[in-house]
């Protein structure tokens, strides 16, 4: 074997050994179970150490935090059973997109100190910034961070989070199509992610679609209790809105030449208050319970029947510093006493 080839082979071998060691703490099972978003926009939230104990008690193996909060990451030290998705703050995007020096510095400050005893599985670059003025910053930042984690042989994937607003058309699902700006900003990111089959993270909220048109969208379709097909789209039949929205995004990617790229549902949920009869604890419990069953069942969607759904419910707690109304009421738990707002687990 030529020396340079041998050197390359040994490098990849060392990466495989390192990744095996990182993943042997339950990484594979973590990716097949439900995740929770852990937001911090509240002034009455419990200490992160208590929240870590809550996650342990209910068997959560995946969480997503929106920035590399030191208190949260410190509280997770030693708990390698939880895979952590860490977000880059949107205001840091410009610097990370500008050059590798800023990327190296950000990583050394926010990720490196936790690698030994926190199971960081994903870094998300930008939260719903595509499409928009900050959208062009996503690709260079994703590329630089990806190159950095690869050079360090770390089993961390780098991606971005987008919303369904990136679609200009979503009904029926097979008509799913990106807006012009989303196509311009997102397609290069999707092509880059495709090189390593790294999932795109998508926020999917049937609640907002239902709340905007409760006359034409029936509640049982929105909260996944309908057993009958409601939308027939060619050979594919849809009995729930979540699957239709998920597949609309998959179709939109396919129209840009991106086929079979994995999707992770970075956020979904239903508020338990804030909009009258549309938002009760019972309805929220039903929607989230059905999403949980969807994940646990291992079943996919009509377009991707063999791809199990992976995703995160939004959110762990009601957050009183979010905009008033439904935004403050997506939590599963009351932050003051940490009691469930409704029974899910």
Domain ranges of the chain: 26-333
- Return averaged pLDDT per consecutive 10 residues of the chain, 345 residues in all: 45 47 36 83 98 93 97 97 97 96 98 98 98 98 98 98 97 98 98 97 98 97 97 98 98 97 98 98 97 94 97 98 98 97 92
Model pLDDT, residue 3: 41
DSSP string covering 248-313: HHHHHHHHTT--S--EEEEEE---SSSSGGGS-HHHHHHHHHHHHHHHHHT---SSSTTS---EEE
Tens digit of each residue's pLDDT (9 = 90 or more) over 100-134? 999 999 999 999 999 999 999 999 999 999 999 99
Pick the catalytic residue from 100, 128, 254, 319. Answer: 128
Pick the catalytic residue from 100, 227, 254, 267. Answer: 267
Model pLDDT, residue 207: 98
Helix pair 100-110, 138-151: axis angle to 10 deg: 60
Q: Return d(Cα 202, Cα 198) in angstroms, integer.
A: 13
Q: Return d(Cα 51, Cα 36) in angstroms, integer.
A: 12
CATH number of 26-333: 3.20.20.80
Model pLDDT, residue 15: 61
| Known catalytic membership, residue 128 | yes
Tens digit of each residue's pLDDT (9 = 90 or more) over 19-76? 443 433 333 333 348 999 999 999 999 999 999 999 999 999 999 999 999 999 999 9
């Amino acid at each position: 074997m030529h020396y340079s080839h041998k050197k390359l082979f040994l490098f990849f071998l060392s990466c495989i050994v390192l990744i095996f060691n990182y993943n042997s703490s339950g990484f594979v099972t973590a990716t097949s179970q439900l995740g929770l978003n852990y937001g911090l926009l509240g002034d009455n939230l419990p200490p992160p150490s208590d929240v870590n104990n809550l996650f342990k008690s209910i068997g959560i193996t995946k969480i997503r935090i929106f920035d590399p909060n030191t208190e949260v990451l410190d509280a997770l030290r030693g708990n390698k059973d939880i895979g952590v998705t860490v977000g880059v703050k949107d205001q840091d995007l410009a610097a990370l997109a500008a050059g590798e020096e800023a990327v190296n510095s950000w990583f050394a400050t926010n990720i490196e100190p936790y690698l030994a005893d926190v199971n960081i599985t994903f870094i998300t670059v930008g939260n719903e910034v595509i499409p928009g003025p900050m959208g062009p910053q996503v690709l260079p930042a994703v590329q630089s961070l990806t190159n950095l984690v690869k050079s360090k042989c770390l089993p961390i994937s780098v991606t971005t989070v987008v919303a369904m607003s990136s679609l200009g058309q979503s009904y029926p699902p097979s008509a799913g199509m990106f807006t012009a700006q989303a196509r311009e900003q997102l397609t290069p990111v999707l092509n880059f992610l495709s090189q390593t089959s790294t999932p795109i993270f998508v926020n999917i909220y049937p609640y907002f679609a239902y709340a905007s048109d409760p006359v034409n969208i029936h509640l049982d379709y929105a909260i996944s209790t309908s057993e009958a097909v409601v939308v027939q789209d060619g050979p594919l039949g849809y009995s729930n809105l979540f699957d239709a929205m998920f597949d609309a995004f998959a179709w939109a990617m396919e129209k840009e030449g991106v086929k079979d790229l994995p999707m992770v549902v970075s956020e979904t949920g239903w508020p338990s208050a804030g909009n009258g009869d549309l938002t009760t604890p019972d309805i929220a419990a039903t929607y989230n319970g059905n999403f949980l069953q969807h994940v646990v069942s291992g079943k996919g969607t009509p377009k991707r029947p063999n791809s199990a759904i992976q995703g995160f419910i939004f959110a762990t707690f009601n957050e009183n510093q979010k905009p008033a109304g439904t935004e403050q009421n997506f939590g599963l738990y009351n932050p003051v006493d940490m009691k469930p707002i409704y029974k899910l687990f």
